[in-house]
């Protein structure tokens, strides 16, 4: 089982955690230059760990010439399979919309130049501006490969993702009582476009909600997805791992 999105550098004893619940691989995400360096250090230490590096929309204060130059260098590392997580977040940073958009466009360009997957973080605030804006950007820029991390279920994003062949990530919030729209999408979207992720240490699935998440708890999201799709867990796990390998062009 591959956890296609977590933050190993924010977890205690990551090596020990990677032996839990049949994990076969992990993609760890560094959302600032220091986080990117930490992610790559873990890739060097641990087997079957790959990295996504970039600037989170809520870290745009770290954006600038020095940060971009460092990320341009780090992305050349053979363990790096993606750029991000980039995007727009109106929940925490509505006033930073233009700065977030600039960072997103630069990271999409970097992903295109390096042929890496672009990982997108999209979170709406009081309205759906972030989702609508990201949908427009994707339709305009058409990145080669993209993952809508922790997919929020927005119809415009779903439409452009399915049209352009992008992947939809589902985390522990798929198990939440309030996640009806997400479950509808997870139950009906093409099976070969779905990804299993945890976003550890965030978004712990039920019954661990409120506790730090960890990669092995992707098993609980897999079980919920198995129920929604009416597919045996073992069969679905094979499909989810295949999807992750395609989404990030994983080798080794």
Q: H or E stretch including 5?
A: strand 2-6
Residues in a beta bridge with 147: 119, 167
- List pLDDT tens digits, range 83-141: 999 999 999 878 999 999 999 999 999 999 999 999 999 999 999 999 999 999 999 99
DSSP strand pairing (2-6 vs 117-123)? unpaired
What is the pTM assigned to this prediction? 0.96
Residues 6+ positions from 226 with CB-CB distance below 8 Å: 232, 233, 236
What pLDDT score does 121 carry? 98
SS3 per residue for 192-234: HHEEECCCCCCCCCCCCCCCCCCHHHHHHHHHHHHHHHCCCHH
Mean per-residue pLDDT of the chain: 97
Q: How confident is the model at residue 252 (pLDDT cuts 50, 70, 90)?
A: low
Q: How confident is the model at residue 161 (pLDDT cuts 50, 70, 90)?
A: very high
Residues 6+ positions from 12 with CB-CB distance below 8 Å: none
Q: Kindly list the domain boundaries of the chain, sorted by start residue.
A: 2-248
133 backbone φψ class: left, alpha, beta (φ>0; ψ -120 to 50) = alpha
**Is there a contact between 85 and 30 (Cβ–Cβ < 8 Å)?**
no
Q: How confident is the model at residue 249 (pLDDT cuts 50, 70, 90)?
A: very high
Q: How confident is the model at residue 81 (pLDDT cuts 50, 70, 90)?
A: very high
Tell me, which fold does domain 2-248 have in CATH? TIM Barrel (3.20.20)
What pLDDT score does 93 carry? 79
């Amino acid at each position: 089982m591959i956890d296609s999105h977590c933050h190993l550098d924010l977890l205690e004893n990551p090596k020990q955690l990677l032996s839990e619940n049949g994990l076969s691989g992990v993609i760890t995400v560094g959302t600032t230059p220091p986080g990117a360096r930490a992610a790559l250090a873990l890739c060097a230490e641990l087997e079957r760990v790959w990295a996504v590096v970039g600037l989170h929309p809520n870290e745009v204060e770290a954006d600038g010439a020095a940060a971009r130059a460092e990320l341009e260098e780090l992305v050349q590392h053979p363990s790096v399979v993606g750029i991000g997580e980039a995007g727009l977040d109106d929940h925490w940073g509505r006033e930073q919309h233009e700065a977030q958009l600039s960072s997103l466009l630069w990271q999409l360009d970097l992903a295109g130049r390096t042929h890496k997957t672009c990982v997108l973080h999209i979170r709406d605030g009081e309205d759906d501006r972030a989702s609508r804006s990201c949908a427009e950007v994707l339709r305009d820029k058409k990145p080669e490969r993209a993952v809508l991390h922790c997919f929020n279920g927005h119809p415009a994003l779903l439409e452009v993702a399915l049209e352009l062949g992008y992947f939809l990530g589902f985390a522990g919030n798929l198990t939440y009582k309030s996640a009806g729209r997400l479950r509808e999408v997870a139950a009906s979207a093409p099976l070969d476009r779905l990804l299993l992720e945890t976003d550890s240490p965030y978004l712990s699935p039920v019954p661990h909600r409120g506790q730090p998440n960890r990669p092995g708890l992707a098993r609980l999201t897999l079980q919920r997805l198995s129920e929604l799709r009416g597919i045996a867990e073992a069969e679905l796990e094979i499909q989810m791992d295949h999807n992750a390998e395609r989404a990030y062009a994983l080798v080794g």
